[in-house]
Amino acid sequence: MPERTLVQAVRDALYEEMERDDRVCVLGQDVGLKGGVFKATEGLQQRFGAERVMDMPLAESSIAAVAQGLALEGFTPVAEMQFADYSYPAFNQIVNEIAKVRYRSNGDFSCPLVIRAPTGGGVRGALYHSQSPEAFYCHVPGLKVVLPSTPADAKGLLKAAIRDRDPVIFLEPKKLYRAERQEVAQGEAALLPLASAAVVRQGTDLTVVTYGYMRAVTMQAAAKLSPDGIEVEVIDLRTLRPWDVEACVRSIQKTGRLAIVYEANRTGGFGAEVAAELAERCFASLDAPVSRIASPDVPAMPFSPALEHAFMLNPDKVADGLRRVARY
């Protein structure tokens, strides 16, 4: 199997799905000859032409709206928002239009499409290239939300998202785009189901539910706790809506403790939903309060390295938080 970075895996998924199904098309700013600002669509226009890989005007609402129009007509568009922070001008199209098409037409219409966007920080992107807006979209019935953390997951889940019959918001942690290479399967063997979490570290003392870039941070934190005799079980949700509640419940029944680690700011983040649901489901199994380890409630991640470092969770901060839960 070839070794791929996460962004190469995204590109491979698009390539394979476009080869497989000529209804699949790509649209967004700079997705054409440039191949996207992160190279996620590199070579696609050369292979599939300027219609199926369409450079769009710099107007996110119309990117979402045109994708919707194509989907309503039976095409399968994969729209790129250059940064997740820039999806907000398309918020009405996504939340009021795309997400509600099936419901408001009582099943007469549907709108299967994918909106991809790089998400998260830690790359000196500052306030407007670092945000983690997944909670906004997870709040919306009718949308599915995927947030992978490895090349293989990104490829398998993007292929599944493209084949899904409902609209999917597909958020790609930009800090992981080139962080590691991994062997990634090709074709049908690469496919992964949505809504299935992965237990990525076995442990007996504490369950951590996380996703995206925070998976790697949590794994490093877990390694720091191991010498102290604290064995952390780490669950990568991979799909946030719908999310794999049962996998989390099984783990908590074993460990009796739960922390959620997420990169977005703390209040109203998706981790709050995970905490509430699992507290309700697992009350009798829990030996300690459910804890959220998240970014501070400031508007966004600043540009200065000192401030960015102060904002971002890192293995030490996460390890401190996990130790408190383990010792409660």
> Which are the catalytic amino acids?
129
CA-CA-CA-CA torsion sign (7, 139, 245, 160):
negative
First to last CA, the chain: 45
Nearest Cα neighbor of 93 from 76, 70, 75 is 70
Nearer to another protein, 107 or 229 (CB): 107
Residue 88 touching another protein (CB under 8 A): no
In the complex, the smallest distance separating the C-beta of residue 102 from another protein, rounded to whole angstroms, is 5
Member of 89, 126, 127, 163 binding another protein (CB under 8 A): 89
Residue 280: count of CB within 10 angstroms of its CB:
8
| Tokens representing residue 76 in the block | 């399968």
Q: How far is the CB of 183 from another protein (least distance, A)?
A: 32
Residues 105-144 that bind another protein (CB under 8 A): 105-110, 112, 141-142, 144
Q: Examine residue 290 and tell whether it contacts another protein (CB under 8 A).
A: no
Site for another protein in 41-60 (CB under 8 A): 51, 56-57, 59
Number of residues this chain uses to bind another protein (CB under 8 A): 39
DSSP letter, residue 95: I
* Per CB under 8 A, 169 contacts another protein: no
If one asks whether residue 280 binds another protein (CB under 8 A), the answer comes out as no
CB distance 129 to 175 below 8 Å: no
Count of other CB atoms within 10 angstroms of residue 115:
29
Nearer Cβ to another protein (194/312): 194
DSSP string computed for 17-29? HHHH-TTEEEEET
| Both tokens assigned to 83 | 């940064």
- Answer yes or no whether residue 72 interacts with another protein by CB under 8 A: yes
Which residue's entry shows tokens 């400031």? 298
- The footprint of another protein (CB under 8 A) covers 51, 56-57, 59, 61-62, 65-70, 72-75, 89, 92-93, 96-97, 100-110, 112, 141-142, 144, 164-166
